[in-house]
Chains A and B, each alone.
Chain A
């Protein structure tokens, strides 16, 4: 048994995201025939069009003036008189700005809770032996398969009884524990060589100083991954905010935009503009972090 932790730690080190081949950057090192290249390009163009099409159409609708029809054939795909007025309307006449503020507050609090919980729990699971640790690990893994929908109604009752309905904490806390994040952090802490810990112990570092000064600086990469994934998750949340918030002024963007699109006969142009504004932040985060975050994500899924 004594050799096991070290061996596993070594495995983790080898599997660090930085060293893994990224799905975003591919170099097969072999060239392909001209025919194959043309076929691949054609098919890739079609695939890209299927993904881009709805988004571009949305953009086209959002840029159309009030006088221009949103229907009719693709001749009207390019707006005859593009205007940004719909984007302005989305902020002035519908409370998109308020929704964005709410979402930002929820995301900031959610990411903070998620980050703290994942870090300290992951650290304990990786580095602090305690009675029942193996059992708790098993419980965590088991609960990872429990869909939130199963406890939706009960969680609503608990949260309401705590007086957290229509509050920021009521939205954030029930979703504050991300099991994936805990395991990402656990893996990261396991990858730190034991020698470093022993050296710090000999230097007289207590358990908390050890955690803050020695361990945390070594897992910055994983902290970034957990932050990005936490943000994306929070921005995407729909069912729980919908259930726990009854005051439309407190809605996050995902609930707000669908509420507006259904609440009254909304202008399709304005809703399209609002939807694009909502999609933009996670898209930007993705573009800037994809190589570091998502190659690791895919690799992590493979191990599971």
Chain B
């Protein structure tokens, strides 16, 4: 049974050169293209200088690219086995942030490892997908309806989400809950159960409201009426819209964005980098970037359905959904569609942990592709 558990079936193991040959180089190219857009925007954010952001980001991308390729050629079955361990490590790091996290940006999000500042909440986004993919891999379709079986995955999602929210990091908590929810949906959880959850969530909203920090409340309120307080909490949202809108069709040109360079735009190198892109490159640039992301998403779906294992399919879809949530929450936020929450634009925003975890996620996606024919058994599965 233990043998069949990790059975390769009729297929033989791929050799290393074969694996490297199998890596989806088109996706690598696409990811690198997005990263290059990021370098350009960071270069512009520093008023046409490589320092302080672009140069560091390039170095990080180099490291992250290596990590991605290594992750891609590591056997998918290893990731299957390691899923819960990775989740456990991410969870412990999250607890550690609570205990001895340094204060950064007004929120406890970082662990200072000396060389790198680690942001466990970012890691948790990938770790949760891994854990859920493994969990649902092992639940057969007839059992999915049993409410008791859902307790463990609900805890897997909500406990870290609550911890992240307490940091406070509304954006990441939102991503965890939404990403987890999509995984539940993909796993086959009945729709009416979501309805119950959403209703319960609605009932909980007033209670959650009481736990929100004043600045979070202010952001939610100003989202509803951003022009009400243009110098106060609505400032970010309004300035971002002004910058995007003033970009027009073709934008103001590279390095020519007035609003971002005159510092009217806050956090232009991190969460609001899309704003600067839209200001300098206009509608054409903004749509082109969204198109690039859409191509990556299509790759994700394609990879998911080439996989022969449920774990692979769920993991690929989870990572794809995760990427989508990053992109959607970030761009919708800077365009004033949703409140300002701290979610970076993947591969473009300046930031080490986000870059590493996103690339780690792409590595997993590629691993699913490289090992698409790997069969991952289930306890109790007779057929290999």
Are A and B interaction partners?
A: no
